[in-house]
Amino acid sequence: MPEPETRRSSLSKATSLEAMGEYWDTHDLPDDCADVTDQFEIRIEAEQHLVAVDPDVLHEAGEAARKRGITVQTFVNLAIRQAVALKT
């Protein structure tokens, strides 16, 4: 049966974390990437807005979120989406 292909780090060509660590102990990123010409674009589309929330309401939202296994932020966003959907 053929051996599975060994994964290698793109710069160090290391096949283990130990070998990768040894490589980076003696190399610097700017030295190894001097000839890299790849370009990329970053699009940041998410915006965050801060709103004041009554402490008691926030506490209740936190408890409800924990019961559902989600973050308070996710819970509040879902609650607002549901409230807006009811108005349309």
For residue 34, being part of any structural domain is answered with: yes
For residue 47, being part of any structural domain is answered with: no
Q: Residue 79: phi, psi to the nearest 5?
A: -65, -40
pTM: 0.47
pLDDT of residue 35: 66
Low-confidence ranges of the chain (pLDDT < 50): 1-2
What total number of domains does the chain contain? 2
Between vectors from CA 82 to CA 76 and to CA 84, what angle results, nearest 5°? 100
For residue 50, being part of any structural domain is answered with: no
pLDDT of residue 5: 58
Are residues 61 and 29 part of one domain?
A: no
Are residues 60 and 32 part of one domain?
A: no
For residue 49, being part of any structural domain is answered with: no
CA distances from 10 to 14, 32, 33, 36, 84 (A): 8, 11, 11, 12, 48
pLDDT of residue 36: 64
Are residues 7 and 36 part of one domain?
A: yes
> Are 62 and 71 contacting, i.e. CB atoms less than 8 angstroms apart?
no
| Domain ranges, residue 28 | 1-40
pLDDT of residue 1: 47
pLDDT of residue 4: 53
pLDDT of residue 73: 93
Are residues 32 and 61 part of one domain?
A: no
Are residues 27 and 4 part of one domain?
A: yes
pLDDT of residue 13: 82
43: tokens are: 């699009």
